[in-house]
């Protein structure tokens, strides 16, 4: 079932588009958005949270566009989980969580702390008196307080060391809330997302079942990402091949970096079906041939 859908959305700031004509469904089983810094992941997440209005296209929530849906219900159903630094440093964490709860349900703070694996006694502490992993659990507890159907998680573990990351991933995997997860870390989507979308320069270049994407990428950029970060906790990926940082303005945006680029890539590749995924690359079959 599709909970949220971006339909041909173009997004930007001050009329300058940074996400171009993206169509993407948030379906069950976890959805990953993968891409390097600046590829447009957070921008897309903001649009899915109703915080950024598309320059064109629509965000659909069920059978209504966000513009027309009941925003109160939407804000309860779809909750962000951003970095732990977003917690108010002056507020005791129990109060932080209680604030998100309806007045009649404030006694649920203990239950929520337990649900995220924290000792309820920590409720009286302030964020700086907790470890990074504990703070991230508080952020998750706060998001869960209103009983959301979908969590939108932006790099939920990137500030944590590897063992703490793994425990937070276990916690997220154990929740029965759906998730859209934004990360540059492929190991994280492998653990938490049935479907993944790879973004490059504001365009989806490859989408499909996460396992297939990682086992045999069909886009050279997915291949570069996969080969750059073999394990949990690795550094942000650097593309292999040529290293021009600026995307090409015409044709395939990736072609200046792509080791497989040919003159045909000066024409923009339309997304097409290749072995069970959607891929925007003229040379997808050749990429599959080398993986
Ligand atoms: N508030 C803003 N005003 C103007 N430009 C912005 C704003 N926020 C983001 N951008 C630009 O939009 C593009 C996409 O940024 P975005 O934050 O969505 O990327 P990202 O993939 O989430 O990157 P990161 O992994 O570093 O968070 C970038 O070129 C960025 O500079």
In this structure, is residue 58 part of a structural domain? yes
Q: Is any ligand 1 atom within 6 A of the Cβ of residue 41? A: yes
CB 221 within 8 A of CB 259: no
CA angle 251/253/259 to nearest 5° reads 100
How many residues are given for the chain? 291
In this structure, is residue 73 part of a structural domain? yes
Q: Average the pLDDT over 74-78 and give the result.
A: 91
Predicted complex ipTM: 0.96
Q: Tell me what pLDDT residue 43 has.
A: 96
Kindly report the pTM of this predicted structure.
0.90
Q: Tell me what pLDDT residue 268 has.
A: 94
- pLDDT band for position 232 (50/70/90)? very low
Q: Is any ligand 1 atom within 6 A of the Cβ of residue 171? A: no
Q: Is any ligand 1 atom within 6 A of the Cβ of residue 127? A: no
Q: What is the pLDDT of residues 169-204, one digit of tens each?
A: 888 999 989 999 999 888 889 989 999 999 999 999
In this structure, is residue 264 part of a structural domain? no
CATH number of the structural domain spanning residue 163? 3.40.50.300
Q: Tell me what pLDDT residue 245 has.
A: 61
**Probe ligand 1: pick from 12, 42, 158, max atoms within 8 Å of CB?**
42
Calculate how far, in angstroms, residue 206's C-alpha sits from the geometric centre of ligand 1.
20
Checking if the pLDDT of 237 tops 50, the result is no
Checking if the pLDDT of 251 tops 70, the result is yes
Q: What is the pLDDT of residues 9-34, one digit of tens each?
A: 999 999 999 999 999 999 999 999 99
Q: Is any ligand 1 atom within 6 A of the Cβ of residue 35? A: yes
In this structure, is residue 282 part of a structural domain? no
Structure tokens at 169: 């991933």
Domain of residue 43, residue span = 2-218
Instruction: Please give the residue that has the higher pLDDT: either 227 or 180.
Output: 180
Cross-strand pairs, 24: 6
Residue identifier of the C-alpha nearest atom 1 of ligand 1? 13
Q: CA 269, CA 127: separation in Å to the nearest integer? A: 47
Residue identifier of the C-alpha nearest atom 16 of ligand 1? 40
Q: Is any ligand 1 atom within 6 A of the Cβ of residue 42? A: yes
Calculate how far, in angstroms, residue 44's C-alpha sits from the geometric centre of ligand 1.
10
Q: Tell me what pLDDT residue 233 has.
A: 47
In this structure, is residue 123 part of a structural domain? yes
Give Cα 99 distance to the centre of its chain: 26
**Count of domains observed in the chain:** 1
DSSP the chain: -EEEEEEEEEEEETTEEEEEEEEEEEETT-EEEE--TTSSHHHHHHHHTTSS--SEEEEEETTEETTTS-HHHHHHHEEEE--GGGS-TTS-HHHHHHHHS-GGGGGGHHHHHHHTT--GGGGGS-GGGS-HHHHHHHHHHHHHTT--SEEEEESTTTTS-HHHHHHHHHHHHH--SEEEEEES-HHHHHHH-SEEEEEETTEEEEEEEHHHHHHS-SSHHHHHHHHH--STTPPPP--SS----SPPSSS-TTTTT-TT--GGGGSPPPPEEETTEEE--TTHHHHHHH-
In this structure, is residue 250 part of a structural domain? no
CB 126 within 8 A of CB 89: yes
Mean pLDDT, the chain, rounded, equals: 89
Q: Tell me what pLDDT residue 85 has.
A: 72
In this structure, is residue 232 part of a structural domain? no
Q: What is the pLDDT of residues 38-63, one digit of tens each?
A: 899 999 999 999 999 999 999 999 88
Q: Average the pLDDT over 125-138 and give the result.
A: 92
In this structure, is residue 287 part of a structural domain? no
CB 78 within 8 A of CB 49: yes
Checking if the pLDDT of 241 tops 50, the result is no
Instruction: Please give the residue that has the higher pLDDT: either 245 or 11.
Output: 11
Structure tokens at 253: 């945006």
CB 259 within 8 A of CB 241: yes
Q: CA 48, CA 83: separation in Å to the nearest integer? A: 17
Calculate how far, in angstroms, residue 40's C-alpha sits from the geometric centre of ligand 1.
6
Residue identifier of the C-alpha nearest atom 6 of ligand 1? 13
- pLDDT band for position 291 (50/70/90)? low
What ligand 1 atom has the least distance to the C-alpha of 199? 21
Burial label, 260 (beta-carbon count in 10 A; 0-12, 13-18, 19+): middle
């Amino acid at each position: 079932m599709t909970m949220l859908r971006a339909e041909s959305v173009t997004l930007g700031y001050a009329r300058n588009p940074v996400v171009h004509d993206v169509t993407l469904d948030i379906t069950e089983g976890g959805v990953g958005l993968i891409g390097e810094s600046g590829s447009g992941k957070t921008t897309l997440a903001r649009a899915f949270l109703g915080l950024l209005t598309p320059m064109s296209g629509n965000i659909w929530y069920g059978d209504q566009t966000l513009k027309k849906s009941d925003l109160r219900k939407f804000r309860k159903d779809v909750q962000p989980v951003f970095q732990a630094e977003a917690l108010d440093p002056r507020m005791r964490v129990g109060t932080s969580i209680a604030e998100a709860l309806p007045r009649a349900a404030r006694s649920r703070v203990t239950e929520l702390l337990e649900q995220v694996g924290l000792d309820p006694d920590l409720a009286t502490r302030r964020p700086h008196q907790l470890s990074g992993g504990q703070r991230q659990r508080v952020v998750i507890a706060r998001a869960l307080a209103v009983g959301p159907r979908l969590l939108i998680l932006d790099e939920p573990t990137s500030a944590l060391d590897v063992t703490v990351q793994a425990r937070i991933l276990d916690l997220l995997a154990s929740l029965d809330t759906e998730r859209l997860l934004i990360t540059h870390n492929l190991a994280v989507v492998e653990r938490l997302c049935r479907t993944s979308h790879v973004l490059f320069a504001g365009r989806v270049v490859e989408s499909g079942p996460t396992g297939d994407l990682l086992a045999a990428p069909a886009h050279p950029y997915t291949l570069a990402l996969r080969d750059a970060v073999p394990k949990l906790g690795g550094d942000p990926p650097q593309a292999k091949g040529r290293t021009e940082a600026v995307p090409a303005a015409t044709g395939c945006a990736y072609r200046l970096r792509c080791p497989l680029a040919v003159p045909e890539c000066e024409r923009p590749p339309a997304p097409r079906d290749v072995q069970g995924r959607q891929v925007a690359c003229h040379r997808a079959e050749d990429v599959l041939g080398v993986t």
